[in-house]
Structure 1
Amino acid sequence: MSTPTFDQLLEAGCHFGHLKRKWNPAMAPYIFMERNGIHIIDLYKTAAKVEEAANALKSIAKSGKKVLFVATKKQAKQVVAEKAQAIGMPYVIERWPGGMLTNFPTIRKAVKKMASIDKMSKDGTFDNLSKREKLQITRQRAKLEKTLGSIADLNRLPSALFVVDVLKERIAVAEANRLGIPVFAMVDTNSDPNNVDFVIPANDDASKSIDLILSTVCNAMAEGLEERKVEKVDTAAAGEEGQAPRRERRRVSRAPRREENGEETAATEAPAAE
């Protein structure tokens, strides 16, 4: 697993924070200096925190659990969608539906509604409806697809949340904290890191910075998924090899016994001669 170097973080602009007057004092440990009224993030700490978060996310992916990516700001939408789709993880890039985690059964009902509409269009029920009803259902389907289409495969609560800009996604972070779901996040100098389990201090406004951090963690998760596949193959192979000796032992047990003098005993006694 490769982590970004200091120069790569610098080139991507991960060190640029917000104006000094907008800072959150809780981010003081991650701030290196102030220049021209703008806080500069300590990239050595960023590199260490990225590596820590990547290792933790790799373990989660290796165990077969889901990580929900959340980023509704314009600069991050496309990047998050591409990276999450590449590793088969759910994501939210439109408005965060309130209660998505704390009221998860209701969200699942909405996803099932979307599936039932698809079923109607396939089994011919859709053709028997009036033009107005078709239009209403089509619009409802499009609305559900826009907000919930990316989490259609999320059948249970995610094991972790990855958030870009905790200030903008504060509702999602609050719901995760309430349920005890670990939160991984890119945290800028104007945000509160106290509600985040794995803080990645970095510029969350520049698309290059977001792309670099997401590429690192998603590549680590892809490695975890690949290792999971390899372990499954090895386990299956070991299981097949373990069955073969047992069959061999059964065959050996059926072989005729040998007496001390070296002569074999017959399986059945011959009838005595008269």
Structure 2
Amino acid sequence: MQKTCKNMFALRTQIRKCSAQAALANRGPAPSTQESPQTALFDMEPLKQADYFGVQKLVKINDLFEAKVHLGHMEGSLHPAMRPYMYGSRLGHCVFDLDTTASLLRRSLHVLANVVYRDGVVLFLSPPSQGPTARATELCAQRCKEFSHVRKWREGTFTNSEKKFGLVTRLPDLCIFIGTPHDAIVECAKMNIPSIGIVDSNTDPTYITYHIPGNDDSASSINYFCKLFSNTINLVKAKKNDKKSN
């Protein structure tokens, strides 16, 4: 268990170094770095390329627009930290800059792909108060055979897991928040668990590791993100199985 945690920590460190290259797939391979004894335990080939799994091409500006990802809340509810991700406003509502959203979304998919490639545990979460979002989150996890949590969050689930569940409990290696804010975001930050979150214009993105600015309320937007996450995971798992068979 201790060895597994050390390996995943080394993986997270390496992913953070390469995530900047993932947003610009046309730049080619990322600069090679000297591998430590811990990182040598992994197959580092995916981390040396900007888009080893081909997930960058899954994100298209037109798809984001059709899914209404660009539509935010009223101007008066805009969180100051979300101002850099705004394109402007229309009829009193905030409008996201989809170029920025697409870039950050590609970066997040790159991180997700590398975690899944190394058998990392992925947990999908959504606020229990949003019924349609909760159902979409569960279906997303089922499609890619990962885990989901859509009920009320019990305080200390991550930070006090040893007492709640026992010493052998393995925490997720990546949490994906389909809706924000969520009580588990702060616990992820405290436990050094990387997080990906869809952040609307009225939400504070501070404690989310890889935030994706966009609409997290409309059914079309939620279904788009869920489909994109599940397709990415299934694509990586299929590629990994093909590599094993060869």
Task: State the partner residue of 1:247.
Answer: none
Residue 32 of structure 1 aligns to a residue whose secondary structure is: strand
- Give distance in 2, aligned partners of 1:184 and 1:52: 10
On the 8 A contact 1:75/1:206 being kept in 2, the answer is no
On the 8 A contact 1:17/1:41 being kept in 2, the answer is yes
- Give distance in 1, aligned partners of 2:85 and 2:164: 37
On the 8 A contact 1:55/1:220 being kept in 2, the answer is no
Higher relative contact order (CA 8 A, sep 6+): 1
Task: State the partner residue of 2:82.
Answer: 27
Q: What's the Cα RMSD here?
A: 1.7
Query: Structure 2: where are the runs of 5+ without partners?
Result: 1-54
Change beyond 3 A, Cα 1:157–1:30:
same
Q: Larger deviation: 185-194 or 43-52?
A: 43-52
219, 228, 238: which one aligns with 1:207: 219
Task: State the partner residue of 1:166.
Answer: 180
Instruction: Describe the superposition over 1:65-108 as per-residue Cα deviations: whole angstroms up to 9, x where unpaired.
Output: 11111012223111111111111111101111221111223443
Residue 180 of structure 1 and its aligned partner are, at CA, apart by 0.7
Task: State the partner residue of 1:217.
Answer: 229
- AA paired with 1:161? C
Q: What does 1:50-61 correspond to in 2, within 5 Å?
A: 50-61=105-116
Task: State the partner residue of 1:98.
Answer: 155
Residue 58 of structure 2 aligns to a residue whose secondary structure is: coil
- Give distance in 2, aligned partners of 1:232 and 1:160: 24
Q: What does 1:1-274 correspond to in 2, within 5 Å?
A: 1=55, 2-72=57-127, 73-108=130-165, 155-167=169-181, 169=182, 171-234=183-246
Q: Indicate the structure (1 or 2) with the bigger Cα radius of gyration.
A: 1
Residue 173 of structure 1 aligns to a residue whose secondary structure is: helix
Query: Structure 1: where are the runs of 5+ without partners?
Result: 110-153, 235-274
On the 8 A contact 2:180/2:216 being kept in 1, the answer is no
Instruction: Describe the superposition over 1:107-146 as per-residue Cα deviations: whole angstroms up to 9, x where unpaired.
Output: 436xxxxxxxxxxxxxxxxxxxxxxxxxxxxxxxxxxxxx
Residue 39 of structure 1 aligns to a residue whose secondary structure is: strand
- Give distance in 2, aligned partners of 1:105 and 1:227: 35
How many residues align? The count is: 188
Residue 173 of structure 1 and its aligned partner are, at CA, apart by 0.4
- Give distance in 1, aligned partners of 2:93 and 2:67: 17
- AA paired with 1:59? N
Residue 33 of structure 1 and its aligned partner are, at CA, apart by 0.3
